[in-house]
Structure 1
Amino acid sequence: MRPRTIFLLRHGQTDFNVQNIVQGSGIDSDLNDTGRAQAARFLAAYGRVPFDKVYTSALRRTRQSVQGFLDLGLPHESHAALNEISWGRREGTRITVAEDAEYRATLAAWAAGDDTARLEGGESPAEVAARQRPFIELLKARADEHTVLVCLHGRALRVLLCQLLHYPLSCMQGFEHSNLCLYKLEFTGTVFVVKNFLDTAHLRD
């Protein structure tokens, strides 16, 4: 079996990103003008790639980021398993100094190996990983899909990469991300290998 190629794409910019307002799975925001321009640039760079399937989360900002590919008639599925982590009561609020301290304490707990830590009312990385696992098994099983595009969210992307590459979730901060960044992976049938890491070449003038 020839290797398969998996494009993992973070969604484009939203006004919430610019305003430092927490989104998470509970905020179904739209791309702003910059985000739509980012999506157009990605389409211009990769529109000729013969994708067999496009996968997105169930949130609008991921579908809007790849809408140009859907307009080309490519098959598409949305999966709530790919939704962003829930940040609980923090969602929809602007980050304050006190809340930033709480957030950083949670990140420190994750880095120390406590993947069950969470913000009040939110999800833990372990819970995000658990809901992603059926999607991972589906992705592996569809051997006829040789080239796929998966658009999701920053924290969800970090969790997914840890799972695909067999890293503990305590390592997820090492997978940096930015709006409309690309990680390209090759799947041999047994292992995933990173070919492009935090690729933003398509966004440059």
Structure 2
Amino acid sequence: MTSKKIYIVRHGETEYNKLGLVQGCGIDAGLNDLGRKQARAFHQHFKDFPFDKIYTSKLKRTHQSVWSFIEDGISWQQLEGLNEISWGVKEGRIITEEDDRQYYTMIEGWKKGQLHLKVEKGESPLEVQTRQQIAWKYIMSNPYEQNVLICMHGRAIRILLSWLIGHDLSQMDQFEHQNLCLYLLHYEKGNYSIEKRNDVTHLQHLNNLADTVSDSFISGN
């Protein structure tokens, strides 16, 4: 395998995103009305593109975001390794000021390289990276899948992009994201390059681009 194009999108908006509730991998929320519009807009923009395979996490917000492509007959596979980070005991909750303080403390620790830190009963970035690497090895094992569409989650995307392009996970917050944004990667001869970052060109006709990333638990759902 010498070359591959990888289209990585974050799922569309859910009601949890809209209401400021923490999701993570333990909350299996579906798309809300805006999220479904975002999914339709993405499909309309790329419906004629020859994707060879679709990979999603196990969570239905990712399935629903690319469902029109699946209905078009493109082969689809769910991989648990693409799931969002677990936010542990914080999942399903409205964020309090105390939660935000704890989150900022943890994020500052991550930025200093303390990547073992995690929410109670949750996952650390290092644990997410470990399961992602297993899933990614599988995704990259088929040389006939030249154009791949992957739908996953905000914090998981930040972690994935960091280690794929050789950055330390402490730098992951450089990879901003919005609901149904696109990161386009080019793989060639063992190296990855990013050709598009947080691209929402396909959503420009929608009135409300929801969930522009911010620094809180809800920014990585």
Query: Which residue type is aligned with residue 165 of structure 1?
Result: I
Match in the other structure for 1:128? 128
Task: Please report how far the alpha carbon of residue 4 of structure 1 lies from its aligned counterpart in structure 2 after TM superposition.
Answer: 1.1
SS at match of 2:164: helix
TM-score of the pair, normalised by structure 2 = 0.91
How big is each residue's C-alpha offset from its partner over 1:89-114, in whole Å with a ceiling of 9 and x where there is no partner?
00000001010100111111111111
- Can you give the 5+ residue segments of structure 1 that lack an aligned partner in the other structure? none
Pairs within 5 Å for 1:145-184 = 145-184=145-184
Partner of residue 55, structure 2: 55
1:194 aligned counterpart, secondary structure? strand
CA distance in 1: counterparts of 2:2 and 2:163, whole angstroms? 22
CA distance in structure 2 between the partners assigned to 1:43 and 1:189 by the alignment: 30
Aligned residue pairs total 205
For 1:99, the equivalent position in structure 2 comes to 99
Q: Which residue identity is paired with 1:60?
A: K
Cα distance, 1:58 vs structure 2? 0.1
**What is the aligned-residue identity percentage?**
42
Q: Match of 2:182, as an amino acid?
A: L
When normalised by structure 1's length, the TM-score is 0.98
**Structure 2 residue aligned with 1:68:** 68
Distance in 2 (CA, whole Å) between partners of 1:197 and 1:16 is 24
Deviations 1:41-98 (A, max 9, x none): 0000011110000000000000000000000000000001000000000000000101
Match of 2:144 in 1: 144
Q: Deviations over 1:119-145 (max 9, x none)?
A: 111100000000001111112221110
| Structure 2 CA distance for aligned equivalents of residues 142 and 162 of structure 1 | 23
2:221 is equivalent to residue 197 of structure 1: no
Q: Which runs of 5+ in 2 are unaligned?
A: 206-221
Runs of 4+ in 1 over 4 A off after TM superposition: none
After superposition, the CA RMSD in angstroms is 0.8
User: What is the identity, as a one-letter code, of the residue corresponding to 1:201?
Assistant: T
Matched, 1:116 2:150: no
